[in-house]
Amino acid sequence: LVDRISGKGADAWSIHWRARELEAAGRDVIMLTVGDPDMAPPPQVIEAVVDALRAGRTTYSPIIGNPEVRAAVAARHQARTGQPTTAENVVLIPGAQAGLYCALQCLAGPGDEVIVPEPMYATYEAVAGAANATVVNVALRPERNFHLDLDDLERALTPRTRVLWLNSPHNPTGAVMTRAEVESAAEFCRRHDLWLLSDEVYADLAYVGPHVSPWSLPGMAERTVVVSSLSKSHAVPGFRSGWIVGPPQLTGHLAKLVLCMLYGGPPFIQAGALVALTEDCPQVAEMAEAYQRRAGIMASILKDVPGLGAKAPEGGMFVMLDVRGTGLSSAAFADGLLDSQGVATLSCDAFGPSAVGHLRISLAAPDARIEDAARRIARYAGSL
C-alpha cells in the first residue's frame, strides 16, 4: 500500500514549506499556496462546538454519524438536488479527503480503472492507488477553459472502467461544469454502467453556475456518490467535517469500513455541523462573494501584463495564471516570484500535464494582500 501511494501528490505543496521558512526568517511573504479559508467561520457554529464540549459531549458517537446530522445533510442535499435523500443515504466522515478515500475503497479494486479529468486534485492518484485501482486521465485543456470534451471519455473507456470521478467547481482550474456537461457525463455513466464519484467540496463557490450535482439527474441517485464537507463553505477545514451521500447498498458497505477505521466522529464537531447545516449562516454567501471579488482584483491587475494570462475562475477559491508566455516553466516562475517578490503560489505541474505552464493562486487572503500580490506578480513578470 505504501508503495502504491508514496510520492503521489505529497510534493505538490513543497514550495509552501519553503515560503514558511522565509517567513520565519523575517521575510514579508504573501502566502497564496493553500486553499485554507482566511475568513472567520459563522460564530454560532463555534458556539455550538464550545457548548457541546462544556456539556461533556466528549463520548463516542454513532459509527456513521449522529442521526440528526445525517438527516440534516440529507435534507440539504434533497433541497439542492430535488431528489429524495434520507439519512440512509448519508455517512459522516472526517473531511471530504477521507470521504474520497473510503468511497473509492468501496467502488474500485485491483485492476479497475477510474477515469479522472486532469489537471486533478493532488491526492486523487494516491486515493486510487490505495484501492489498487488505476487512474486513466482525460485532458481538460486550457484552450477549452478546462472544460471536458465528452469524446475523450469514450476514448478512455475500457472493459476495466468502473468509475468516472468528477470535481466541480474544480481545483485547481476553477471550471464549473455546465448542466449540459454534467448531463452528458451522467449519460455516459448510465450507458456504460459506471459509478460517478462527485467531489463537491466547492459547491457553495460557483460564480458562473449554478453548481449541478449529478445526483439531481434522472436515474443517477442509484450510481452517484457525492463527497463534500463544511471545510470551504463554512471556513472550518480543521473541523474535518465531511460526508458521503450514496445509495443505501454503498452506505451499508461504508458503515462496515468506518466501523473498523474511525468508530464515529467527535460529537462536539457534529454539534457544530448541525448548526452549520440547519441554521441560516450569511457568512457562506459573504465568503463566496469575497473570493469572487478577490479573483476580479487579481485578474484585472494581471490581464494586461505581457506574458501572463489570468482569468477570473467560474468557481472555487483559486485563480489559474498562465505563465507560458514568459518563457519560464511554472515551477521556475513560482520559485523566482517567491524569491524576488515574496509571493508564494503553486506551480500546477503536480496537478497533471494539461496544467503545465500555469500557477494556482489561492484567494484565501484579505483583498489588500491580494492586490499587493497581483502588483508584485506584475512587477516580477515585467522584470523577466
Of the residues 81, 171, 198, 330, which one makes contact with ligand GLN according to CB under 6 A: 171
Give the total residue count for the chain: 384
Partner whose binding site includes residue 95, from ligand GLN, ligand PMP, none (CB under 5 to 8 Å by kind): ligand PMP
Partner whose binding site includes residue 80, from ligand PMP, ligand GLN, none (CB under 5 to 8 Å by kind): none
- Cβ proximity to ligand PMP: between 142 and 237 the closer is 237
**Least distance in angstroms from the C-beta of 209 to ligand PMP:** 17
**Least distance in angstroms from the C-beta of 54 to ligand PMP:** 26
Cβ atoms of 196 and 247 closer than 8 Å: no
- Cβ proximity to ligand PMP: between 35 and 142 the closer is 35
Rounded Cα distance, 247 and 252, in Å: 9
Partner whose binding site includes residue 34, from ligand PMP, ligand GLN, none (CB under 5 to 8 Å by kind): ligand GLN
Q: Strand (E) positions, the chain?
A: 30-31, 90-93, 113-118, 134-139, 161-167, 195-199, 224-229, 242-245, 309-310, 318-322, 343-344, 346-347, 358-362
Rounded Cα distance, 360 and 174, in Å: 10
Binding-site ranges for ligand PMP (CB under 6 A): 35, 95-97, 121, 167, 171, 199, 201, 229, 231-232, 237, 242
161, 130, 227, 177: CA torsion to nearest 10: -50
13 part of the interface to ligand GLN, by CB under 6 A:
yes
Partner whose binding site includes residue 85, from ligand PMP, ligand GLN, none (CB under 5 to 8 Å by kind): none
34 part of the interface to ligand GLN, by CB under 6 A:
yes
Contact string 177-196 vs ligand GLN (x = CB under 6 A): --------------------
Spatial CA neighbour of 182 closest among 206, 166, 201: 166
Helix (H, G, I), strand (E, B) or coil at 9: coil
- Cβ proximity to ligand GLN: between 258 and 317 the closer is 317
Rounded Cα distance, 146 and 103, in Å: 25
Residue 17, H or E segment: helix 14-24
347 part of the interface to ligand GLN, by CB under 6 A:
no
- Cβ proximity to ligand GLN: between 15 and 378 the closer is 15
Under the rule (CB under 6 A), what is the footprint of ligand GLN? 13, 34-36, 171
